[in-house]
Each structure stands twice: as C-alpha cells, then as structure tokens.
Copies of this chain bind each other. A is one copy, B any other.
Amino acid sequence: MLTLIIAESSLEVVPKEILEHPQIQGYVKKFGKNSEFVLLDKSYHYEAMNKLKWKEKRGRPDIVHFTLLEALGSPLNLEELLQTYVHTINNQVIHVNPKTRLPRNYNRFVGLMEQLFQKSKVPLEKQPLLILKKSSLKTLIEKIKPSTTIALTRLGKPSTPTKTAQKLGKHKNPVVLIGGFPRGHFTTETLKLSNEQVCIDPSGLDAWITASRILSSYEEAINLPEKRFSTIKKT
C-alpha cells in the first residue's frame, strides 16, 4: 500500500484579515457564497491576496483538484493499493476515501471543499468520503508509521521516476510527499519529516504531473498492469 500526501497544499478558506476586501465581498455576492467559508482562489482574489504572507504559495484549489483526480483515477487506486491525503498550508488534513468520486467540474469541486471546511466531513449523510481534521504533517506521518518517506522536490537528489518507484516498491508501507502549491519549496520542517529527498525532473513539474509520473512508475514497478489484465474482466 502506497500513501500519497499532497503536502502544504494551497487550499484554505479566505483568511479573516482580508474577508472585508471589496474583491472578496464582490465575489461572495456574485456567487451567493457563505462568506465565512469561501475558498481562497487566486484567479478571483488576486488583489485581495496582495497583503497575505507567503501569497505565492496560496489560493490554488485547482492544484489539489487536478492532483486528486490524477490519484483517484489511477489504476493503483482502482486496485485499492493507494491511500491519499491532502495536507494544507494551514495544517489541516483531508483523509480521502479511495472510493471517492470527485466532481470533475471545478466549480462543484470548490463547492464541495467549502462544505468540507464548514462541516469537516462530506457527504453529511451516510459514510463520509472526505474528512477534514486539524493536524500537522508530522502528526499525520506519525499515525501512518511509514517504512520510508520520500519527498519529491527539486531540492532533492536527481533520480528517474522509475528508479524512485522501484525503491518505493521494495517497501511495505512507503509514503511519498508531493507539494500541493504552485511555487517555492517545502518548508525545512516538511523536509525533515522525509527520509529522502528526490528530484524526478530538472524543471519544476506541475503537482499533477509529478503525481502521474510517480504513480505510473510505481504501478510498473509492482507489475500492476499485467496483474490487472489477469484478474479483471473488461468492464
């Protein structure tokens, strides 16, 4: 079982300090949102975000959306061999049930996240598929007790996706960390939580590309494509 953590993700509700900004208020009014739980989105709140600390790393829910779609739709996840978590820049953690069928439409995804930040779980009826908790990345990793944790970062040692995945494949319970933010690097605190830092490409790849490269290579490393053909009838 591989665990993927999308770490320090730019996913959060609009911070109180900029809630009164005209750009936020206009957005709330236009889309009929509950202003306490509006998701921060650089596409619409660019000016309002001007005074925010670490603003380059914030307000990009689309990164979590794409990366989750990439993870949840992977053959590895379909085979129930992947557990995915989203850790946010504000130290909240979303436990993602592997069976979650995420909205493909971005606006519906944003609505779902706003509900999650408000209610801490969705859906409210039946078994929740997404659960939000206050938790540091350290606490999350301590709970998972991984046999190894590899952080994918441009600051790491160069290695191909295949070699990195083969290393992960030798472990029983490995964790891989991917940055869920658009620019910059993991904090020192995050880097300290990993056993290894690996760079799989000399350019900065988008989070969802990093995810697909490592998941695809991991599937190959554990011979998943062949296994699926031998065990699953075509649907």
Interface, chain A (partner B; CB < 8 A):
41, 43, 60, 62-63, 66, 69-70, 73-75, 78, 104-108, 154, 158, 160-162, 199-206, 208-209, 212-213, 216-217, 220, 225-226, 228-229, 232-235
Task: A60-B104, A62-B106, A212-B212 are known; give 16 further A-B pairs, CB within 8 A.
Answer: A41-B105, A63-B104, A66-B66, A70-B70, A74-B209, A75-B201, A75-B205, A78-B203, A107-B107, A161-B220, A200-B225, A202-B235, A213-B216, A216-B216, A216-B217, A220-B220
A225 touching B161 in the complex, CB below 8 Å, given contacts A69-B208, A205-B75, A216-B213: yes
Residue pair B70, A212 in contact (C-beta under 8 Å): yes
Bound form: Cα–Cα A201–B216 in Å: 12
Query: Which B residues are CB-close (under 8 A) to A233?
Result: 202
A/B interface sample: 29 pairs, CB < 8 A? A41-B105, A43-B105, A43-B108, A60-B104, A63-B104, A69-B206, A69-B208, A73-B205, A73-B206, A75-B201, A75-B209, A78-B203, A107-B107, A154-B234, A158-B229, A160-B220, A160-B229, A162-B220, A162-B225, A199-B234, A201-B225, A201-B228, A202-B228, A202-B229, A202-B233, A202-B235, A212-B212, A212-B213, A217-B220
Within the complex, what minimum Cβ distance (angstroms) separates A77 from chain B?
10
Residue pair A160, B206 in contact (C-beta under 8 Å): no
Bound form: Cα–Cα A100–B154 in Å: 23
